[in-house]
Amino acid sequence: MKRLCCILVFAAASGSLSATGTTAIGTFSRRFDSPVSKEIILRFPIFLSKAYTRAKKGRVMYPNEFSRMRDEKKIASRVIYAPEEYAQISKLVEGGNLLTGEIFEYAEKAKDEDGNEIEPTAEVPDKKYVLVKLYHYSASTGKISAFTVYSKPETVVIDLLRTMLPLEKDRYLSRPITSASKLAIMAPLEPVELNDFYISLLSQKFKVHALSGSDFESTTPKDLQYTRHLVTQGVSYFAPMLTVSEMPPPLSAAGDNEANNADYNAFSAIVARKDYGFDRELRGILGRIRGRTGADYLLLLNPDGKNSFARGFDLTTGGMVWYQDSFPAKSSANSEMLASMISEMQRPLVILSEEQINKIAEEKDRMSAQGASGGLASVAILDFYDRTNTPLYTWLASSLSIAIDDSMKKIFEYDRANEKKSFEAGSRIFRSPTDVNEKTLKEFQAATGADYLIFGFYSVSAKTGNIVIESKIFDLAKKKEIGGSTTESPVDVRLFNVVDEISQGIVQDIFSMTQQQTK
């Protein structure tokens, strides 16, 4: 016990979602804007929103909505915030949660019999993998739950969904620890109390595997306090402690964002040494405990009234699979608290079935028409209006509308309004931003029969020389704006990424609107 607690002191030094409430999705950093990272950023918020709605885990605030609120309060875009910044964010999400992440992509090369890497060919390509680190901050507990997800590009979004669903306010259990499991216990109990607790477990069909006498040296509540905050490779639970967010190097402005791969690999190596050195040592300790006891799980149980907590480790994989900081015990007596802990580690998870998860992955949302026909909505997507007064950026007008249409088709079923009619009506009715009002929106709908209108303007900032893109989404039946954004970008490779971000934001605004209509 003394050995394990000493290791956990090092971990602390190194740095549930409630049934109701809002989970805002913030920054997801990535080394470059690959198809995989774009897919995660577009689909994950929508999939999570669907899953939380069906599992009754509260509302999801999309990244574009949170970004607007964050910008208003002049809060920086980060993956991990300082404690004082989380205090500001807690007010923004009204006591809810913030979910951020880091996306890493890498290739696993084939090796020959001598262990040398084989250069990939068309017949034997590199195996592509994705590593995503999720950080979930709960304003109600003031704690961060972090998860590392390894996956293939084609399944990463669903794997992220599976990882997040079991999370509750101050409890995470990757799977229930049921009766017949082989348990090794560490708890600051007197011998008589410990013996009674073992008898209780045996009566519930658990198999108790006693640890050796040396494991119980100096077993006190103070010893176990060090296990409250754990940073491991798989599942972590800790209080905000960083004053500066650790982020990958900035994107290269060059045409080839792979140019700075050496910088990125160096950063990844630093993160691996810092975060995962403890994890390797912890897995070694857990492996030795499994070797001595033959147990499946190690439970660290601290029954201490309001300060009670539990941590559970899978001795086969060497990772944390359960943490919980509050329990529905009948009283603060040790026996009642322990009984509640054992009950909680067996409590079924509030998640979705594999069938429901697969349905979310496969389905597209139906955008319904505004009339009584019940058919698909008709969406007019106009080319964006070029107000740069230079032929250099004429290509952007159609690029934006194409990108928006492509993004929407991944998520929604809808009818694209007749492009010729839409272009003619738009060119005639909307000559400047001031021309957009109830009268002109009604006129456009009459001319095209569309239910929704998406378009915008772009210009060059006289101050910075950057391109400023303003997007708009209109509900033509209600004759009002329902979403949009203003984005500024340098005139380099980053402009292409901004086009994708705008289309993703529009999809999120429309999805949020369609959700509200179905409530």
Range of the domain at 389: 364-518
The answer to the question of residue 406 being in a domain is: yes
Domain harbouring 462, CATH code: 3.40.50.10610
The tens digit of pLDDT for each residue in 141-158 reads 999 999 999 999 999 999
pLDDT in tens, 298-314: 999 999 898 999 999 99
Residues 439 and 392 in one domain: yes
User: Is residue 144 domain-shared with residue 180, that is, in the same domain?
Assistant: no
Structure token pair of residue 43: 């689909």
Place of tokens 């195996």: 127
Cβ atoms of 210 and 182 within 8 Å: the answer is no
316-368, pLDDT tens digit by residue?
888 899 999 999 999 999 999 999 999 999 998 888 888 898 888 887 766 77
Give tens-digit pLDDT for 244-286. 444 444 443 333 344 345 544 544 554 454 445 556 777 778 8
User: Considering the domain boundaries, does residue 57 fall inside one?
Assistant: yes
Final residue of a domain: which of 360, 379, 404? 360
Mean pLDDT lowest for which of 19-33, 100-114, 322-336, 428-442?
Answer: 100-114
Q: Is residue 243 part of a domain?
A: no
Among 321, 341, 360, the domain boundary falls at: 360
CB 53 within 8 A of CB 67: no
Q: Which two structure tokens, joined as six digits, stand for 215?
A: 């494991």
For residues 399 and 484, membership in a common domain is answered with yes
Same domain, 326 and 410: no
In a domain, 240, yes or no: no
Cβ atoms of 113 and 81 within 8 Å: the answer is no
Helix (H) or strand (E) holding 366: strand 365-366
One domain, residues 386 and 503: yes
Calculate mean pLDDT across residues 456-482: 89
**Given CA atoms 28, 265, 495, 453 in this order, what sign does their dihedral have?**
negative
Looking at this protein, which amino acid is placed at residue 316? Answer: T
Phi and psi at residue 233, to the nearest 5°: -70, -35
421 and 291 fall within a common domain: no
Q: Which tens digits make up the pLDDT trace of 122-141?
A: 555 566 888 899 999 999 99
**Vertex 340: Cα angle to 337 and 342 (nearest 5):** 110
Based on the fold, state whether residues 261 and 196 are members of the same structural domain: yes
For the record, the structure tokens of 27 come out as: 């920054």
The reply to whether 316 falls in a domain is yes
97 has pLDDT over 90: yes
Q: Give bridge partners of residue 182 from the DSSP assignment.
A: 207
Does the residue 21 lie in any domain?
Answer: yes
**CA gap 93, 482 in Å, rounded:** 21
Q: Are 272 and 369 members of one domain?
A: no
Q: Are residues 288 and 228 in the same domain?
A: yes
CB within 8 A of 188, min separation 6: which ones?
219, 220, 221, 223, 224, 302
Q: Is 2 helix (H, G, I), strand (E, B) or coil?
A: helix
Domain count, the chain: 3
- Are residues 327 and 406 both part of a single domain? no
Least confident of 55-59, 61-65, 179-183, 210-214: 210-214
Looking at residue 438, what is its pLDDT? 92
Length of the chain: 519
Final residue in a domain of this structure, among 333, 360, 387: 360
pLDDT at 303: 93
* Residue 239 is assigned to a structural domain of this protein: no
Tell me if 242 is assigned to some domain: no
pLDDT per position as a tens digit, 382-421 = 998 888 888 888 888 888 888 888 878 877 888 899 999 9
Clarify whether residues 388 and 513 are in a common domain: yes
Given the structure tokens 């799980």, which residue do they identify? 297
Report whether 473 contacts 481 (CB < 8 A): yes
Task: List 381's β-bridge partners, or say none.
Answer: 454
CATH number of the domain that 144 lies in? 3.40.50
316 and 186 housed in the same domain? yes
